[in-house]
Amino acid sequence: MTMIPYGRQSIDDADIEAVTSVLRGDWLTQGPAIDRFEEAVAEYVGARHAVAFSSGTSALHGAAAAAGLGPGDVVHTTPLTFMASANCARYVGARPALIDIDEATLNLDVRAVDNTVDALVPVHYAGLPVDLTALPHRPRVVIEDAAHALGAWTPDGPVGNCAHSEMTCFSFHPVKPITTAEGGMVTTNNDELADRLRKFRSHGIRRHPEKGGWYYDVENVGYHYRMTDVQAALGLSQLGRLDRFIEDRNRLADRYREVLADLPLRLPPAAPDGVRHGYHLFVIRVADRAHVFEALRARGVFVQVHYVPVHHHSVSIDVLLPTSGVRVTDRVYEEIISLPLYPGLTEEGQDTVVRVLDEVLS
Ligand X SMILES: *Cc1c(COP(=O)(O)O)cnc(C)c1O
Q: Give the whole-angstrom CA distance, residue 196 versus residue 205.
A: 10
CB of 352 to ligand X, least distance (A): 26
Nearer to ligand X among residue 231 and residue 352 (C-beta): 231
CB of 359 to ligand X, least distance (A): 30
CB of 130 to ligand X, least distance (A): 12
Nearer to ligand X among residue 260 and residue 336 (C-beta): 336
Nearer to ligand X among residue 172 and residue 352 (C-beta): 172
CB of 215 to ligand X, least distance (A): 33
Nearer to ligand X among residue 82 and residue 245 (C-beta): 82
Amino acid code (one letter) for 27: W
Q: Give the whole-angstrom CA distance, residue 172 versus residue 56.
A: 7
Contacts of 355 (CB under 8 A, 6+ apart): none
Interacting residue ranges for ligand X, rule: CB under 6 A: 55-57, 81-82, 84-85, 123, 145, 147-148, 171, 173, 184
Nearer to ligand X among residue 144 and residue 354 (C-beta): 144
Amino acid code (one letter) for 252: L
Q: Is the bond leading into 6 cis (omega within 30 degrees of zero)? A: no
Q: Give the whole-angstrom CA distance, residue 162 versus residue 185.
A: 13
Nearer to ligand X among residue 86 and residue 360 (C-beta): 86
Residue 134: CB atoms within 10 Å? 12
Q: Give the whole-angstrom CA distance, residue 305 versus residue 6.
A: 10
Q: Give the whole-angstrom CA distance, residue 172 versus residue 38.
A: 13
Would you give the end-to-end CA distance of the chain in angstroms? 21
Nearer to ligand X among residue 147 and residue 360 (C-beta): 147
Nearer to ligand X among residue 44 and residue 225 (C-beta): 225
Count the helix, strand and coil residues of the chain and give each as a percent rounded to the nearest 5. Answer: 35, 20, 45
CB of 122 to ligand X, least distance (A): 10
CB of 183 to ligand X, least distance (A): 7
Q: Give the whole-angstrom CA distance, residue 149 versus residue 146.
A: 5
CA distances 76 to 121, 141, 264, Å, are 6, 10, 34
Check: CB of residue 285 under 8 Å from CB of residue 332.
yes
Q: Give the whole-angstrom CA distance, residue 134 versus residue 115.
A: 14
Q: Give the whole-angstrom CA distance, residue 106 versus residue 158.
A: 20
CB of 81 to ligand X, least distance (A): 5
Taking CB atoms, the residue at the shortest distance from ligand X is 56
Nearer to ligand X among residue 316 and residue 352 (C-beta): 316
Closest CA to 306 of 277, 276, 275, 285: 285
CB of 171 to ligand X, least distance (A): 3
CB of 78 to ligand X, least distance (A): 9
Q: Give the whole-angstrom CA distance, residue 316 versus residue 319.
A: 5
